[in-house]
């Protein structure tokens, strides 16, 4: 059978319908930011809002004729059968959980883009060789339970199911109990058979595409990511009466680590290291008491594995130095670690080809953020399509915005790529 | 009339009764610390727990025969009439509000010590020349509404009543509305006439007395205190996709300020400067988002006004530097500022004399913490008695502990001092 390459007009996605789905899902968990008056989205994984979002998307998947299965970690797959049902599916997907201060796009674009692709395939009466599946994965953000890409990591076997169930949020609530509570602890086995290929459409969440004026991005991989949670145990003391030399100030220790990490990033000695100390919880957090305890997070990113390792080693050694200097006991827990991911060159080239075919421009770029695609890349040919965002690509923020046209561009290319991939014989496994 | 100086045995306070009162009041707002299992006290000013504590102490003051009046800021005075009712009262007092992680002593010792003094005077049938009053002042800690010594500062006229009413807690609740809610917005005029003298018994909250083995402290003044609240406005950004040079990280700016202040303290160039960054609230406080906003507090203490001024000037200039370096907008609000207070030499000497007379030892020392006595010193002869604490005098912590004997020593001396002060003609106004 001859692959149908380059035929991009046969399945035309519906821009308005895609936009409408994005806007409808964004109504769930929506809030108004106090300071800016902007409308944002808060659908932290496995909260009531996330469960409501999941219910809506499952309903839409079913209405589009997909057979929906839910696996043991709550990942949801909607299957469109192919002509050759024994072939592995072409999988597209992303996530619909969000950070607490999100916009309408992020992972939703990949999931609702997949839905729009299926709706359009149905309208066109397209029959594919391979089955096509649209998935959304549990707790991609990692903000609630501390580990990002949790659902897809369990699906590919990087993290164990029991380990994932046992993870807790800040109140000690477990992933397992929340899945039970919302009825999303499904029966389908969580470990998936290798798909034929995995393609994810996502907003860029950065300034590269908009600053270079390119319509879409072909993502070549994901930089290495290391997440640690530091617990700094000092000693409470009265701010007025305790001499400085008798203090064990957990806040000072945290500040030293923060400035050191930024110095490391600035130094250039660790490649293109990015550091973020995003969460800082001090206790007792009172004006006139020396901080007794701080829990903070360290997010390191690096396009080089070697530099990442150097940075982690230097951090470990600096924590010992700070501990010795301040008398603050410091423990570091690795909460997430994903190596540098290199995507599949064939899938990348196919994406680039499809972008050219519809007359759009593209850049190839490495993703700064982690994505479910990074997990899938360990079991099947994988790549991603990036859609540019306005305002320097700001995301995880109510200002996050991609135009209806940009979203439709990404989803049209996704559809065209999947159409080719699901035609038997195109991509070698 | 001949002053009755040195007669210390005529009014003997009851150690067990004093201890019983302290332990009973500590039952209100008590909690168990999760990590240590220790019992602590949380009676933040004008909360339900503080209101319950106030009600109990008011009941006790009345049962001791005192005429209770509540002023417009919720300060409570219990009056024991003197033989010469036209004379200004000898005032003793302190506060019963606490930080969120307190022990049983702190300000309670001064208030319940005053109560025990009155009970013992009653039993002895003592008639004083001057009236004697026992007071507790509103929001001494400053932890809830951001300004310490609030009640006593309004009483002496340093802070305006309307200004005080308008102060808000972290949820925007005002002092005025909380006073109303609890029925503690009294009718007595808040500005007081100058008392004959003010004496406050308080735990030391530091290691000096215990390390030198002295029984009690004669407090010669209070070091200068400066409280500021800093608001650092950066820009939220994705931890993975935003290049370091495009960030405006409010957390980094906070860390720079923190380490700088500690460097200043260590340098010796600002005298015996003490710095505490006790409260740090970051927003959105998520692992993978660059902190957009931090609100933190700066607590500076200094026994020298000149060095304090130098430190504040240097901090202001450094905030400008950090702002220029990081692109984070920083605003500083002075939430409290009390100058170096020097207590009254005559009252200090009288305290020392009474300590000697009961066969105890003492040190003279400057208080590192602020106290209501610091406010009273601006309108009348004032001094304080410090009672040593165990565990290096830790306070604002469930481990705070002074022995029953140490508490009784302080209150016996308080009683002896008041007895002499309330005898007409002893201290020149």
Average pLDDT, chain B: 94
- Return the SS3 of B227: strand
**Contact criterion met (CB < 8 Å) for B280 and A285:** yes
Closest C-alpha among B129, B44, B118 to residue B77: B118
pLDDT, tens only, A265-288 = 999 999 999 999 999 999 999 998
Report pLDDT for B298. 98
Cis peptide before B284 (omega within 30 of 0): yes
Contact A124, A166 (CB under 8 A): no
Task: Give the helix/strand (H/E) hosting B393.
Answer: helix B390-393
Distance separating alpha carbons of residues A4 and A424, to the nearest angstrom: 10
Q: Which residues sit opposite B385 in a β-bridge?
A: B201, B218
Task: Show the tokens assigned to A284.
Answer: 């007792």
Q: Per-residue confidence at B34, pLDDT binned at 50, 70, 90?
A: confident
Chain B residues touching residue A99 (CB < 8 angstroms): 284, 286, 288-289
Residue A285: closest C-alpha in chain B: B279
> For a pLDDT cut of 70, what percent of chain B falls above it?
97
Mean pLDDT of A399-427: 91
Does A105 score more than 80 pLDDT? yes
Q: A72, A161 in Cβ contact below 8 A?
A: yes
Say what the pLDDT of residue A36 is.
84
pLDDT of A6 higher than 90: no
Contacts of B160 (CB under 8 A, 6+ apart): B154
Interchain contact, B277 vs A251, CB within 8 Å: yes
Percent of the residues in chain A that have a pLDDT greater than 70, as a whole number:
97
Q: What angle do CA B163, B164, B165 make, to 5 degrees?
A: 95
pLDDT above 90 for B269: yes
- Is the Cβ pair A278, B291 closer than 8 Å? yes
Cβ burial of B404 (10 Å; 0-12, 13-18, 19+) is middle
| pLDDT confidence band for B180 (50 / 70 / 90) | very high
Closest alpha carbon within chain B to A292: B278
b/e map of A224-258 (b: 16 or more CB within 10 Å)?
bbbbbbbebbbbbbbbbbbebeebbbbbbbbbbbb
What's the whole-number mean pLDDT along residues B33-42?
89
Express each pLDDT in A199-224 by its tens digit.
Answer: 999 999 988 899 899 999 999 999 99
Distance between A14 CA and the closest CA of chain B, angstroms: 30
pLDDT in tens, A364-379: 999 989 999 999 999 9
pLDDT of A390 over the 90 cut: yes
Residue B223 with chain A: CB contacts under 8 Å: 240
Distance CA A419, CA B225 (A): 71
Contact B275, B267 (CB under 8 A): no
> Between residues A5 and B265, which one has the greater pLDDT?
B265
Q: What is the pLDDT of residue A427?
A: 47
pLDDT band at B267 (very low <50, low <70, confident <90, very high): very high
pLDDT tens profile B306-362? 999 999 999 999 999 999 999 999 999 998 888 999 999 999 999 999 999 999 999
Q: Tell if the CB–CB gap between B278 and A301 is shorter than 8 Å.
A: no
Say whether pLDDT at A428 is over 80.
Answer: no
Q: What is the pLDDT of residue A7?
A: 42
pLDDT in tens, B110-147: 999 999 999 999 999 999 999 999 999 999 999 999 99
Q: Which tokens sit at A345?
A: 């060159």
Encode burial over A300-318: b for 16+ CB neighbours within 10 A, e otherwise: bbbbbeebbebbbebbeeb
Half-sphere CA count of A100, side-chain side, radius 13 A: 11
Least CB–CB distance from A236: residue in B262, B281, B397: B397
Mutate to test the interface with A, among B209, B242, B302, B334 (most CBs of A within 10 A): B242
Substitution target from B147, B217, B288 for chain A, most A beta carbons within 10 A: B288
Which residue ranges form the domains of chain A, and what is each CATH number?
15-222+340-421 (3.40.630.10), 225-338 (3.30.70.360)
User: According to the model, what pLDDT value does residue A3 have?
Assistant: 37
Contact: B251, A258; criterion CB under 8 Å: yes
Across the A/B interface, how many CB contacts are shorter than 8 Å? 239
ipTM above 0.85, yes or no: no
What does DSSP assign to residue B195? P
- Tens-place pLDDT, residues A115-136: 999 999 999 999 999 999 999 9
Enumerate the residues of chain B whose CB falls inside 8 A of the CB of residue A394: 236-238
Residue that is written with structure tokens 């590919």 in the block = A156
* pLDDT band of A425, cuts 50, 70, 90: low
DSSP single-letter state for residue B397? S
Nearest to B239 among A252, A278, A289 (CB): A278
pLDDT at B425: 60
Of B141, B205, B251, the CB nearest to A241: B205
Residue B119 tokens, joined: 């009970």
Instruction: Nearest chain B residue to A400 by CA: give it.
Output: B237
How much is the pLDDT for B300?
97
Cβ atoms within 10 Å of B256's Cβ, excluding its own: 23
Residue B392 pLDDT: 86
d(C-alpha A382, C-alpha A342), whole Å = 9
The pLDDT of residue B329 is 98
Closest-CA residue of chain B to A225: B240
Which pLDDT band holds residue B241 (cuts at 50, 70, 90)?
A: confident
- Predicted model pTM: 0.78
Give me the residue from A276, A289, A290 closest to B288, CB to CB.
Answer: A276
Spell out the SS3 assignment of chain A: CCCCCCCCCCCCCCHHHHHHHHHHHCCCCEEECCCCCCEEECCCCCCHHHHHHHHHHHHHHHHCCCEEEEECCCCEEEEECCCCCCCCCEEEEECCCCCCCECCCHHHHHHHHHHHHHHHHHHHCCCCCCCEEEEECCCCCCCCCCCCCHHHHHHCCCCCHHHHHHCECCCCCEHHHHHHHHCCCCCECCCCCCCCEEEEEEECCCCHHHHHCCCEEEEEEECEEEEEEEEEECECEECCCCCHHHCECHHHHHHHHHHHHHHHHHHCCCCCCEEECCCEEEECCCCCEECCEEEEEEEEEECCHHHHHHHHHHHHHHHHHHHHHHCCEEEEEEEEEECCEECCHHHHHHHHHHHHHCCCCEEEEEECCCCHHHHHCCCCCEEEEEECCCHHHCCCCCCCCCCHHHHHHHHHHHHHHHHHHCCCCCCCC
**Nearest partner of A196 among A407, A73, A346, A35, judged by Cα:** A346
Q: Using an 8 Å CB-CB cutoff, list chain A residues near B268.
A: none
Enclosing H/E stretch for B218: strand B216-222
Q: Indicate whether A34 pLDDT > 90.
A: no
Query: What's the mean pLDDT in B178-198?
Result: 97
Question: In chain B, which residues have their Cβ closer than 8 Å to the Cβ of A322?
Answer: none
């Amino acid at each position: 059978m001859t692959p149908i390459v380059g035929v991009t007009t046969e399945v035309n996605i519906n821009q308005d319908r895609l936009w409408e789905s994005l806007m409808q899902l964004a109504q769930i968990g929506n809030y108004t930011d106090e300071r800016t008056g902007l409308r944002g989205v808060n659908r932290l994984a496995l909260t009531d809002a996330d469960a409501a979002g999941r219910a809506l998307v499952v309903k839409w998947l079913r209405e589009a004729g997909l057979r929906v299965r839910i696996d043991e970690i709550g990942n949801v797959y909607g299957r469109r059968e192919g002509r050759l049902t024994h072939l592995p599916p072409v999988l597209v997907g992303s996530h619909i959980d969000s950070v607490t201060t999100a916009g309408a796009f992020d992972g939703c674009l990949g999931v609702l883009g997949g839905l729009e692709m299926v709706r359009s395939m149905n309208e066109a009466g397209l029959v594919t060789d391979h089955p096509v599946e649209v998935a959304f994965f549990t707790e991609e953000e990692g903000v609630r339970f501390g580990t990002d890409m949790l659902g897809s990591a369990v699906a590919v076997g990087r993290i164990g199911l029991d380990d994932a169930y046992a993870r807790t949020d800040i109140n000690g609530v477990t992933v397992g109990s929340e899945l039970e509570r919302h009825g999303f602890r499904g029966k389908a086995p969580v470990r998936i058979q290798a798909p034929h290929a995995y393609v994810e459409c996502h907003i860029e969440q950065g300034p590269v595409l908009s600053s270079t004026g390119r319509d879409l991005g072909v993502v070549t991989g994901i930089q290495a990511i290391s997440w640690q949670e530091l617990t700094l145990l000092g000693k409470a003391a009265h701010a007025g009466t305790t001499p400085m030399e008798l203090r064990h100030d957990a806040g000072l220790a945290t500040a030293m680590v923060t400035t050191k990490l930024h110095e490391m990033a600035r130094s250039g000695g660790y490649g293109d290291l990015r550091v973020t100390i995003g969460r800082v919880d001090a206790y007792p957090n009172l004006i006139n008491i020396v901080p007794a305890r701080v829990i903070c997070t360290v997010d390191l990113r690096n396009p080089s594995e070697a530099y990442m390792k150097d940075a982690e080693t230097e951090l470990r050694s600096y924590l010992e130095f700070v501990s010795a200097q301040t008398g603050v006991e410091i423990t570091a827990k690795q909460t997430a670690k994903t190596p540098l991911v290199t995507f599949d060159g064939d899938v990348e080239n196919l994406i680039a080809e499809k972008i050219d075919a519809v007359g759009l421009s593209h850049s190839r770029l490495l993703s700064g953020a982690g994505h479910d695609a990074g997990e899938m890349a360990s079991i099947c040919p994988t790549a991603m399509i990036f859609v540019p965002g306005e305002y320097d690509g700001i995301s995880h923020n109510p200002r996050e915005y991609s135009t209806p046209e940009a979203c439709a561009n990404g989803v049209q290319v996704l559809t065209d790529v999947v159409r080719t991939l699901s035609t038997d014989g195109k991509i070698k496994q």
